[in-house]
Chains A and B, each alone.
Chain A
């Protein structure tokens, strides 16, 4: 709980930054920023794993890293990789921004609501109804800034269902990948 709140706030803030870059400067700028973040993230995490551990990076990891991470900066690197995958493979840039909004605000608020929630999902005891409803509501609200409301509700519901499942992978990778599959299947 102590680590989850600031970690998710950073998650939402980074997503907001990506959306701002995409909305103001366009697709090419977003792809370039994500590619830069990917290489910079790999370099920082890779150097950390080899023992180069500057104080400010240590403070950042201590404050923001999830408790059971397999390597430092895991969630952030997966988020950047998933967003880059989405930004390059999506055939509609408005859809890209909508899914980044769902991933940032939906997933961020789902975690916070899930911590406070007490009604576990029948098929996944690790997640709660409160978290899934928060994911859907926040995701749909922010996605509707970029795509029509009906489409925002539809994709937020689909991705909330994906997020609620117990996949053997990280949500930051699974949600963008699932969104791309849904886009191919249902259009937009």
Chain B
């Protein structure tokens, strides 16, 4: 248990480094790289807006080491959700699917999110990716999508 908390705390501390590394892997290995980047940016942009809109406290609110922001939905889980669905159809799924589960679970274990907040983040990230993918796929024969290679 202590090892798990240490590992999760490490991921939390070096989150942006891990995120950058994962993004590079995604750009290298995912099927729809441009959709992945668009969904990642959208999820990262919209999740904090949703947090401030819903204004739901974290379970650790009031404690010394609790992050100074609202808790719903979890941004870590939201980003993890994008990675999990974007890796579908590639061998990276074997890495990013358990990673998404671990990252979402770690937020709950560290006490900074409830299960519902973490699950909301996952659903939000996945929905953002699917909606971007569906929109681009719908217009796959258009000049714009072809010209910019949005399905590549």
A and B co-occur in one complex: yes
Using a CB–CB cutoff of 8 Å, the interface residues on chain A facing chain B are 27-28, 31-32, 34-35, 38-39, 42-43, 45-47, 49-50, 70-71, 78, 81-82, 84-85, 87-89, 168-170, 173, 177
Q: Tell me the minimal C-beta distance from B6 to chain A in angstroms.
A: 25
Cα distance A144–B60 when bound, in Å?
37
Asked whether A42 lies within 8 Å of B116 as measured between CB atoms, the reply is no
- Residues of A close to B117: CB separation below 8 A: 88
| Overall SS of chain B's interface | helix
Q: CB-nearest residue of chain B relative to A39?
A: B101
- Which chain B residue shows the least CB distance to A85? B123
Does B91 lie within 8 Å of A35, measured CB to CB? no
Q: Quick one: which of B88-103 are within 8 Å of A by CB?
A: 88-91, 93, 97, 100-101
**What are 29 pairs between A and B in contact, CB < 8 Å?**
A27-B116, A32-B115, A39-B97, A42-B84, A42-B93, A46-B97, A49-B89, A50-B89, A50-B90, A50-B93, A71-B88, A71-B89, A81-B130, A82-B127, A84-B123, A85-B120, A85-B123, A87-B119, A88-B73, A88-B123, A89-B54, A89-B120, A168-B135, A168-B138, A169-B130, A169-B131, A169-B134, A169-B138, A177-B131
The reply to whether A170 and B119 form a contact with Cβ atoms under 8 Å apart is no
Q: Tell me if B139 is interfacial: C-beta within 8 Å of chain A.
A: yes
Q: Which residues of A contact B131 (CB under 8 A)?
A: 169, 173, 177
